[in-house]
Structure 1
Amino acid sequence: MNNVTSGVIAKASHRKKIHDWIVVIILIMLLIAAFTISANTGTIRLSPMELFKTLLGQGTPQQELILFEFRLPRMVISILIGAGLAVSGCIMQGVSRNGLADPGILGINAGAGLMVMLFVLLFPSMQTTNSLFLLPGLALIGSGAAAILIYALSYKKGEGISPTRLLLSGIGVAAGISAAMIIMTLKLTPESYTFVANWLAGSIWGSNWKFVMALLPWLIILLPFAYYKANVMNVLNLGDQTASGLGTPIERERILLLAAAVGLASSSVSVSGGIGFVGLVAPHLARKLVGPKHKMLLVTSALVGALLVLVADTITRSLPLQKEIPTGLIVAIIGAPYFLYLLSRSKG
């Protein structure tokens, strides 16, 4: 009987792995399709064959200029920040055991935005200098400070982190930081105010290869680290008492994971602006596709987040408007109703 049961479990596990990999392959194919459509979005069209030839260096000078200098950097940044924000949200939801956790909702993005605004206020010529490489570090300081404050407010000795306190503390800190940022806008020049307004709305303002290089090192380090800690997040989801009984140093692992989540979120928003809801929507959609185990959940979340932001950015560039609307508004149109839906179903 035990052998029969073990065989059934093994077959079910094998089918689950096949299903999960099929989901990943489908998402990769959708991402490639969205990439092709995005590269062909604009005044000058590039057919799939022209796109392929240009990527191989066989396009015309005009096609290479359009693709490599204007479209491709922005598309790569959209993919990177989508993956970074999605994995950040996935980590936060896993560590806090709160399905409503998200870098934007919990005030992490607001902390990063405060430091970016301070930098713009003190150094208004930032976009024309190499100082843009300081932005991820500055955003990390701001979001890290916000995360420490939120953690301190939501933690209670003997109980750990309460999901309700975490959510409410994050919303309160985000509201306070937003109020401070509104006051600071009164001292900005018109040019700096326009930049900050677009940043807060989630405009992908960093659209050249320098911004890609400023963002890429953070993701190269933190995304593999998050995947490496997938089993730890699985254990933490069992509850503090069970995780402690299994020998997991709960507080140390929680701090390390939150630091990784903060680093991913802050580096992403430093070049993308205050794009919200990606870290909320992508992990939930991924969880419906592959389940709660974090090894596949993190990979699927990254792909869903990258696809979401790339599609949203493509939509903003294809709308027949005189002025391009921020990508964050399109994401918010999708994310805000979904957040309200999740909030209505939340029991905590």
Structure 2
Amino acid sequence: MIIEKKREMKHRLVLLIIILLTVLTIVISLGIGDYALSYNNLIPTLLGQGSFKDEFVLFDLRFPRMAITILSGMALALSGAVLQNITRNDLADPGIIGINSGAGVAVTVFFMYMPIDSKTFSYLVPIIAFIGALITAVIIYLLAYKKNEGVQPLRLVLLGVGLSMALSGLMIVIMSLADRSKVDFISKWLAGNVWGLDWAFVLAIFPCIVILVPYILYKSNTLNIIKLSRDVSIGVGMSIEKERFKLLMASVALSSFAVSVTGNISFIGLMAPHIAKALVGHRNQMFIPIAILMGGWLLLLADTIGQHLLQSGNIPAGIVVSVIGAPYFIYLLLKK
């Protein structure tokens, strides 16, 4: 009982620290940039008493970008946490196993060859990304499935890595055939440049996150059982393939909606769950809320560093995350 109380206290403390770090990063980000906002004017502007220019920069430029990065980071972290459970592989991540690339190919083809309507574009892009990611996930799932044995977790990850490379190559081919005026968009997407910068994009991805975060938290115990072994799952009466497929679809939806507005960002889904597990343990009920908040903060921090704190400026968040995430991935690979 005492141990359980200590765990709960530690869990709450970690949650509070991450929330405070996120708030601090938001405050710092609000005051820096091409148009510097005075911190003395920040509260009056928030209360609607600032100049027109201050209010425009704050409410129409900076807040939407921050909302996009935080929500997308949360979605990617949760997607990674689910994938690591259902594949029983700690190196699984939606960017590494090809789901993000599938979403990227679909968005690229849509952008290149479909008529663009500015009123519906922000709402169609996440749906198109989900369709591309879903097709990719189903192909990987079917190829990794063996009769009487179900999905082979290691096979699923390896197939995903191979398909991710193939889809990345396909995007480069599409770039070579595309109109030069549209190549810039694909380049930004591949680099992980946050491009969904207004409230319409926030509203487009918000419902997915609001629905799927509670759903996956509700399924935390199911994830605990799935991660143990196939025999244990069957022994407790769980339809493991059915549950695994439902959770895979939820993971695909989260990652595809996120990358549809942030570009090809990898490693958030890998790092955030691992950091959360290191802080509070491996029980999904404990580490998933931490991972969600950690993912939002990590992507916000990466975007802030890339846009404002590095000397050259305007470095895509995806590149900043990769610079940190790639060595971390190698460390995990050697450790496992």
- 2:103 & 2:81 partners in 1: Cα distance? 19
Q: In the TM superposition, what is the alpha-carbon distance from 1:48 to its structure 2 partner?
A: 4.1
Structure 2 counterparts to residues 41-60 of structure 1, below 5 A: 41-60=32-51
Deviation at 1:59, TM superposition (A): 2.0
Structure 1 residues 330 and 239, CA gap change in structure 2 (3 angstroms): same
Partner Cα distance (1:257, 1:132) in 2: 26
Post-superposition CA distance 1:149-202 (Å, at most 9, x none): 111222223333333212210011111212222221122111210111101110
The question of 1:221 aligning with 2:204 is answered no
Matched residue type, 2:31: N
304, 328, 332: which is aligned to 1:314?
Answer: 304
User: Residues of 1 paired with 2:152 and 2:74: CA distance?
Assistant: 27
Q: Which residue of 2 aligns with 1:5?
A: none
Instruction: Indicate if the aligned counterparts of 1:124 and 1:192 stay in contact, CA closer than 8 A.
Output: no
Spell out the pairing of 1:1-348 with structure 2 (5 A cutoff). 10-123=1-114, 125=116, 128-319=118-309, 324-346=314-336
Distance 1:312 1:124, change over 3 A: farther
Distance 1:54 1:229 in 2: 41
Cα gap change, 1:159/1:48 in structure 2, threshold over 3 Å: closer, same or farther?
farther
| TM-score, length of structure 2 as denominator length | 0.96
What's the CA shift string for 1:42-86, capped at 9, x where partnerless? 133334443233222222222111100111100110100000000
Count of aligned positions? 336
Q: Offset of 1:322 from its aligned partner?
A: 6.0
The 1:173–1:320 alpha-carbon spacing in structure 2 relative to 1, beyond 3 Å, is: closer
* Shift of residue 233, structure 1, vs aligned partner: 0.5
Checking the alignment, whether the CA contact within 8 Å between 1:41 and 1:317 is kept in structure 2 is: no
Unaligned runs of 5+ in 2: none
CA distance in 1, matches of 2:172, 2:322: 20
- Following the alignment from structure 1 to structure 2, what is the Cα–Cα distance between the partners of residues 335 and 323? 20
Report the Cα offset of residue 131 of structure 1: 2.0
CA contact (8 A) 1:108 1:262 kept: yes
User: Tell me, what secondary structure is at the counterpart of 2:142?
Assistant: helix
Note if contact 1:41-1:314 (Cα within 8 Å) is conserved in structure 2: no
List structure 1 runs of 4+ shifted beyond 4 angstroms: 319-323
1:317-336 Cα shifts (integer Å, max 9, x gaps): 11465661211000000111
> 1:225-252 CA distances to partner (integer Å, 9 max, x unpaired)?
1111111101112211111111222111
Q: Give the secondary structure class of the aligned counterpart of 1:59.
A: coil
Contact 2:150–2:241 at 8 Å: present in 1 too? no
Whole-Å Cα distance in 2 between the matches of residues 321 and 192 of structure 1?
Answer: 28
Distance of aligned partners of 1:318 and 1:124 in 2 relative to their CA distance in 1, 3 Å threshold = farther
Distance in 2, Cα, partners of 1:323 & 1:302: 27
Which residues of structure 1 form unaligned runs of 5+? Answer: 1-9
Pair 1:71–1:246, CA change in 2 (3 A): same
2: distance between equivalents of 1:60 and 1:135?
34
- The alignment yields a C-alpha RMSD, in angstroms, of 1.5
Secondary structure of 2:92's partner? coil
Q: In the TM superposition, what is the alpha-carbon distance from 1:273 to its structure 2 partner?
A: 0.5
Instruction: Note closer, same or farther for the CA distance 1:176–1:43 as it changes in structure 2 (3 Å cut).
Output: closer
Whole-angstrom distance in 2 between the partners of 1:319 and 1:31: 16
1:166 counterpart letter in structure 2 = L
Residues in 1 aligned to 2:89 and 2:277: alpha-carbon distance in whole angstroms: 13
